[in-house]
Structure 1
Amino acid sequence: MVEAIMCERFSLKADARDLTERYQIDRVLVYAANRHEIGPMQEIAAVIVREGERQLDQFRWGLLPFWAKGSQLADQSIIFGSRGLDRLVRKQRCVIPSDALYVWERRSRRRMTGLMRIALPEREVFAMPGLYEEWRSASGEMVRCCTIITTVSIPDVLPYREQMPVLLPSHSADAWLDPSLTDKQELTYVLEKNENKRLRMYAVRSFEDYAEEDGEELTSNPVAAW
């Protein structure tokens, strides 16, 4: 029996100018382009609204505590009823740009067979909605971290994973970043207007090849289209 698991990984191949134009960013603070495989606990790019302007900044992927449920991926159906996340939902929303998600296919717990890539047909950049937190630690370090919001997976992905990140079109990303929008019912409606049904999935690498190739191979030359 073939099973699969979501890697909780994604990629982003876009320069700062592309993102600035797409998301109308006023200031780029930190950005690393052409990242072929991004995982939990790593630094990721996120667009936020701070002091009335849109900024592209860097956040660690995973809220504190990192082991808690919703640390890296937060279920849309839960966040609006969580008192612990209420302040973030109302005032600290972000969008995380990406161009693909990854799923591992495996035949057993010990044997992985390949890596699947999930992307829009045009392989264009999309926005994943998120929540972010930032504070200064006792040592004086500014800590910035975030989580990505998920929804029920589309039929093609459901056999692999029950939940997957929400993918927002540009107008929904604008609404999600709008600081004047604080009504939870309206925010729920924003997340429902997503791009998820347009996603396509294809194989990019066998497990053996994945161990030998560098990350750049993951974003090109698919083995077989789905």
Structure 2
Amino acid sequence: MCGRYTLLADELKIIKEFNLDQPIDSYQLSYNIAPGQNILTVIHDGRKKRAGYLRWGLVPSWAKDEKIGYKMINARSETAHEKPSFKKLMTRKRCLIIADSFYEWIKTDKQKQPKRIQLTDRQLFAFAGLWDKWVDGDRELFTCTMLTKDANSFMKDIHHRMPIILPKDKEDEWISPIQQQPEEAYHFLQSLEDNEYKAYTVPNYVNSAKNNDENCIAPIV
């Protein structure tokens, strides 16, 4: 499960890190990115990589109601190649979801306490995601979901699931325009080497998606 994350890097750093050749339209940093918001992603359109915004919460092309997106912010990587909602997307509609940390809530005796989790060796990174286009009359909606896996040894004491963060040298391969069978994409995800993580406790202030400032990431000593 991953339901909140941050993106605090400046635009030029993102462009350089992901080798983009155009500015990012309407880029804004955020301390508290939540489901239902438009989030920065990178796809490959068959000619080049493009950065743009997709709404977080997948609405499959065949869905009758866009409200299904609120239930589809995450997809289990272990079964995405088999599920009707994700199977076809695993072939070509793969995306990078750009971030620099994510939040997870650890259960204590009294409450759930938020933690901010980062990579130890780099600031910017990409979650593995899937996207789709939904059409209702003249309206088009582009949405995405974040792939997850069982928690590793670091994360298991915080939560039993975690998002898949792609190794730097695997990002372009994940969004390659070459069509893959769903099983190939599944095996690609299963073969990824894990990252090293660090975490610290942050205030319950981050619990509300309405709060979006530096207080979200203030360490609790």
TM-score above 0.5, yes or no:
yes
Q: CA deviation at 1:123?
A: 5.3
Q: CA deviation at 1:192?
A: 3.4
Q: CA deviation at 1:60?
A: 0.7
Structure 2 counterpart SS, 1:11: strand
Q: Do residues 187 (structure 1) and 185 (structure 2) align?
A: yes
Q: CA deviation at 1:217?
A: 2.3
| Separation of aligned partners in 1, 2:10 and 2:48 | 20
| Separation of aligned partners in 1, 2:106 and 2:85 | 34
Matches within 5 A, 1:134-213: 134-138=133-137, 140-194=138-192, 196-205=194-203, 207=204
Q: CA deviation at 1:68?
A: 6.7
Residue 179 of structure 1 aligns with an amino acid whose one-letter code is: P
| Separation of aligned partners in 1, 2:115 and 2:9 | 21
Q: Do residues 50 (structure 1) and 30 (structure 2) align?
A: no
Out of 67-76 and 8-17, give the one that drifted further: 67-76
Structure 1 counterpart SS, 2:154: coil
Q: Do residues 222 (structure 1) and 219 (structure 2) align?
A: yes
TM-score with structure 2 setting the length: 0.83
Structure 1: which 5+ runs fail to align? 1-5
> Could you tell me which residue of structure 2 aligns to residue 3 of structure 1?
none
Q: Do residues 92 (structure 1) and 89 (structure 2) align?
A: no
Out of 118-127 and 8-17, give the one that drifted further: 118-127
Q: Residues 61 and 72 of structure 1 are in contact (CA less than 8 Å); yes or no, is this contact kept in structure 2? A: yes
CA RMSD between the two structures: 2.7
| Separation of aligned partners in 2, 1:185 and 1:214 | 39
Structure 1 residues 198, 208: CA separation in 2 closer, same or farther (over 3 Å shift)?
A: closer
> Could you tell me which residue of structure 1 aligns to residue 4 of structure 2?
9
Q: CA deviation at 1:21?
A: 1.6
Structure 1 residues 37, 204: CA separation in 2 closer, same or farther (over 3 Å shift)?
A: same
Q: Do residues 80 (structure 1) and 75 (structure 2) align?
A: no
Structure 2 counterpart SS, 1:119: strand
Structure 1 residues 134, 209: CA separation in 2 closer, same or farther (over 3 Å shift)?
A: closer
Q: Deviations over 1:76-104 (max 9, x none)?
A: 00101123322211121101011111122
Structure 2 counterpart SS, 1:182: coil
Structure 1 counterpart SS, 2:27: coil
Q: Residues 27 and 54 of structure 1 are in contact (CA less than 8 Å); yes or no, is this contact kept in structure 2? A: no
Q: Residues 118 and 199 of structure 1 are in contact (CA less than 8 Å); yes or no, is this contact kept in structure 2? A: yes
Aligned positions, number: 213
Structure 2 counterpart SS, 1:89: helix
Structure 2 counterpart SS, 1:192: helix
Q: Residues 104 and 112 of structure 1 are in contact (CA less than 8 Å); yes or no, is this contact kept in structure 2? A: no
| Separation of aligned partners in 1, 2:199 and 2:132 | 32
Aligned-residue identity in percent: 24
Q: Deviations over 1:7-49 (max 9, x none)?
A: 6100011122222222222344534232100011111011011
Structure 2 counterpart SS, 1:86: coil
Q: CA deviation at 1:166?
A: 0.2
Q: Deviations over 1:98-120 (max 9, x none)?
A: 11111224446xx5363211111
Structure 1 residues 17, 87: CA separation in 2 closer, same or farther (over 3 Å shift)?
A: same
Structure 1 counterpart SS, 2:87: helix
